Amino acid sequence: MDICRCSSVVEHRPHKAVVAGSIPATDTNSMEKYFDHHLHEFDSGLRLIIVPMPSSRTATVMVLAGTGNNYETKENAGISHFLEHMMFKGTTNRPDKLAISHELDSIGADYNAFTAREETGYHARASASKAGVLMDVVYDIFLNSLVDQKEVEVERGVIHEELRMYRDDPKRYVSEIFDNVMYGDQPAGWGIEEELVALKNLNQENLQKYFHTHYIAKNTVVAVAGNIDPAMIKEKTEQYFRNIRNAELFKKPPVRESQTQPNTQVYSKKTDQTHFIMGLRAYNLLDERRYALSVLSLVLGGGMSSRLWQEVREKRGLAYYVGAGQDNFWENGYLYVNAGVNNEKAVEAIKVILAELVRTRDNGITEEELQRVKDQFEGGMAIALESSYKVAGAYAGSVLSYGRVLTPEEELDKMKKVTLEDVKAVATDIFDNAKLNLALVGPFDDAQPFQNILKI
């Protein structure tokens, strides 16, 4: 699953538009607008998206590079993550690594970075009056990081411990098993184990080469959102990035998908609870059916009123957490269900979930459920868009993915147009044995009992 690995303590998901869709624009003249926005493309190919939020008390500066784990080779697996860490260790303007954190801490900034499958991001948020400081520091990190050899050796140990920490966390590590069972021996399927092997040999030369070939103008989107002056933002951004690196875009290896029957993979670990992810191959970022899939995932596992929450937790008490969602990338995507359940009742919980998928595929969803999740989506969007951080991420993500802004109004309009027939068609398409996968972490030596029941 597309879960980021961050250089500070807080872990979070990468930024995407709230719901991604297709390139064609939607007529939203009759809809209330959330924000005006300004999109600029400079001669270098760098794109800047500015989103004024007059009622906000904060500003967020974010820089996204269109690269991540799926752009790596077996020899340099994890280099995107390693470089992300190195970007906070000093720049030509701030050679002391403490200078970066001290300057941001002194203005009360919230700052971090993330590495995802197809994007890497750097961001900071603070009082809107400090937007200039945020730009100066975040831009400096992205443009002028030193990638010093001494710091490479120090950070190698830090990353080694971070990866071991993730491997010790069953709820986190099951996502690694899931990626592998879905995609196998290719970048989309690699994770902690491949990173630990490659980590031993990655060096300053590797990192600097990656820095200069992937963090380039044509592959970069800058977003600034909040109570800001668009003219000032554009002027300063153009000035800061006037010498940004230029190179040809690095091509991502294609994702191979091949499956004819259900797949199961178990990581045997003594745990007090079984964590599993069930996934079904679905749609990529440009597929219009993503909207119907969003409705389907919300009906199944979007909150305490969802079908799976009611069936698995409330009626049977089999799990503390259970939910559903989707991840979508340039070429591939999937719907997933994840849960943490009693070890002795793992088989029962999986059977209940499979039965609910079958019922949904065969009978569809109700008109009441359709309207409820549309309202749920709209309410969630309204809450998220109160945050300059969420706004910057959503707008930057859409520009990076589609080459244009996919506005909240367009997304909401697409979602509202989903019909019962659309949802039924998606469920019929993806709830198929030839697309079904299961990853588990728990005290099991044999995957066969789970493989035996894995059918819909």
**Residue 284 and residue 62: Cα distance in Å, rounded?**
24
Backbone angles phi, psi at 58, to 5 degrees: -125, 170
Determine contact, residues 113/87, Cβ cutoff 8 Å.
Answer: yes
324 and 207 share one domain:
no
Residue 287: which CATH number? 3.30.830.10
Which pLDDT score, from 0 to 100, does residue 29 have? 44
Residue type, 400: L
What is the bridge-based pairing of β-strands 274-281 and 436-442? antiparallel
Report pTM.
0.91
Which pLDDT score, from 0 to 100, does residue 345 have? 96
The answer to whether residue 441 sits within a structural domain is: yes
The answer to whether residue 376 sits within a structural domain is: yes
Domain count, the chain: 2
Domain that holds residue 370: 263-453
Mean pLDDT for back-to-back runs of 10 residues, the chain (456 residues): 35 33 39 84 97 97 98 97 96 93 97 97 98 98 95 97 97 98 97 97 97 97 98 98 94 94 98 98 97 98 97 97 96 98 97 98 98 97 96 97 93 97 98 98 97 96
166 and 220 share one domain:
yes
46 and 170 share one domain:
yes
Which pLDDT score, from 0 to 100, does residue 309 have? 98
73 and 171 share one domain:
yes
213 and 273 share one domain:
no
Residue type, 271: T
Query: Of 187, 208, 240, which marks where a domain is finished?
Result: 240
211 and 269 share one domain:
no
**Residue 446 and residue 448: Cα distance in Å, rounded?**
6
The answer to whether residue 255 sits within a structural domain is: no
Determine contact, residues 293/314, Cβ cutoff 8 Å.
Answer: no
215 and 324 share one domain:
no
219 and 328 share one domain:
no
Name every residue whose Cβ is closer than 8 Å to that of residue 203 and which is 6 or more positions away in sequence: 149, 152
The answer to whether residue 248 sits within a structural domain is: no
158 and 302 share one domain:
no
The answer to whether residue 379 sits within a structural domain is: yes
Of the candidates 301, 286, 271, 288, the residue with the CA atom closest to the CA atom of residue 398: 286
326 and 443 share one domain:
yes
